Amino acid sequence: MIIPGNRKITPGKVEILEQKLLQELNSGNFSHEDRFYSVREVSERYQVTPPTAYRALTGLIRRGILVGRNGLGVYVNLPGKKDLQLIALPLRLQGNPQVLDFYEALSAVAEKRGIRLLMGNGEHSDTEIAFLQKAIAVSVDGVIRFPCGVGGGESLIREELIRSKLPCVMINDWWRAGSFPTVKVDEVDGLKQMLDAFYAAGHRKIGLVQETFNGVRPDIQSAFWRWHWEHDLPLMRHSVCYCLSGEIPVAAQLTAALSEGITALVFAYGVNIHDIWNRENRPLLGEFSLAALDDIPLMETGLFASYRHNNIKMAEKAFELLENFGGDPAESVRIAGKLIIN
């Protein structure tokens, strides 16, 4: 099994050393259960201090790539492809209708591959942890889940997953890349396609409405700016608006965007169109052509375009990552969708 070794890393000595050790594991010189380098050997081989070597080895042990055995040293943990039989699936259905389509895709792929799904309550951290404990008791082969943000509850769930050593794949983990493998919608691809469609329709001043709940997705915003630079188009003061799900203080921002001549808006989170539309902002929102990076049904808003997620391919990739679990937890797979012009 090959461990991906091209993840983005911060410029720290420990992180850089971890990456070098991953590359060494990728070289094919080590197999599952082989003894790996000691702290002293890593220190001498890579010309680093023993504390740096220790921290890098500990990091790979914590991620499950290496296993430390008291008095015996450090060993490689590269198991072969797993035969998945039972997968735990915490359900998060409230306020997020888009995930229903993905759960249906997961069920369809699981049935096709003969994998059983153990479904349980994942709406809140306490109910999800209780469900995960039940999953451990029945020896599930792994977990596929949507994160619930970056609050303390999400941290508790991730700690429980790490402590229990349950293989886990995250779906659309926009906030905490690196702790588990992730399958994501390729939102940058979707954004570029939407901007191109608006451009083809004659729009030259286009705005982006960012969802700020649990943090802005910086890759979307940087791609938005880059697209404008590549097309030699101006960026207005209110080219990027910000809204918080559940609290939509955007009327003033949208009014300012109109005054700057912005005629089209791309929403990073489609549910916000519903929220704004239903909060007495319908006439204001109706002044713009609208597009959304979600494929939630939004036809009543007169949506110009949406980006339909390839849920089946995302589900297949999630199962594939679980089958080969043991590689780089920072692996992030982006799955392109399809632009729908209404």
**Which of these, 133, 97, 141, 99, lies nearest to 117 by C-alpha position?**
141
CA distance 107 to 119: 10
Q: Read off the pLDDT band of 251 (50, 70, 90).
A: confident
Which of these ranges, 121-135, 189-203, 288-302, has the smallest mean pLDDT? 288-302
Confidence of residue 158 (pLDDT cuts 50, 70, 90): confident
- What is the rounded CA–CA span in Å between residue 308 and residue 127? 31
The token pair that represents 46 in the structure block = 């890579």
**Local structure of 61: helix, strand or coil:** helix
- The pLDDT-based confidence of 151 (bands split at 50, 70, 90) is low
Name the pLDDT band for 331 (thresholds 50, 70, 90). Answer: confident
Q: What pLDDT is attached to residue 80?
A: 58
Q: Is the pLDDT reported for residue 194 higher than 50?
A: yes
Q: Provide the pLDDT for residue 142.
A: 93
When pLDDT is cut at 50, 70 and 90, the band that residue 6 belongs to is very low
Tell me the CB-side half-sphere exposure of residue 326, using CA atoms within 13 A: 19
pLDDT of residue 41: 92
- The residue with greater pLDDT, 255 or 119, is 119
- Report how far residue 106's alpha carbon sits from residue 313's, in angstroms, rounded to the nearest whole number: 10
CA distance 293 to 140: 33
Predicted pLDDT at 293: 85
Q: What percent of the chain has pLDDT over 70?
A: 82
Query: Would you say residue 177 has pLDDT above 70?
Result: no
Calculate the average pLDDT of the chain. Answer: 83
Are the beta carbons of 222 and 188 closer than 8 angstroms?
no
Residue 327 is predicted with a pLDDT of: 56
- The whole-number average pLDDT for the span 181-188 is 91
Mean pLDDT of all residues in 63-77? 82
Classify burial at 156, counting beta carbons within 10 Å of its beta carbon; exposed 0-12, middle 13-18, buried 19 or more.
middle
Query: pLDDT class for 209, splitting at 50, 70, 90?
Result: confident
pLDDT at site 188: 92
* pLDDT for position 11: 44
pLDDT tens digits, residue range 10-46?
447 888 888 888 888 766 677 777 888 999 999 999 9
Q: Say if residue 249's pLDDT is above 60.
A: no
State pLDDT tens for residues 275-297.
776 666 777 778 889 898 876 65
**pLDDT band, very low/low/confident/very high, at 313 (cuts 50, 70, 90):** very high
* 332 bridge partner residues: 182
The model's pTM: 0.72
Q: Bridge-partner residues for 182, per DSSP?
A: 170, 332
DSSP states of 284-309: HHTTSEEEESS-S--GGGT-SEEEE-
**Using CB atoms within 10 A of its CB, is residue 257 exposed (0-12), middle (13-18) or buried (19+)?**
buried
The CA-atom distances, in angstroms, between 117 and each of 41, 88, 171, 312 are: 44, 6, 16, 16
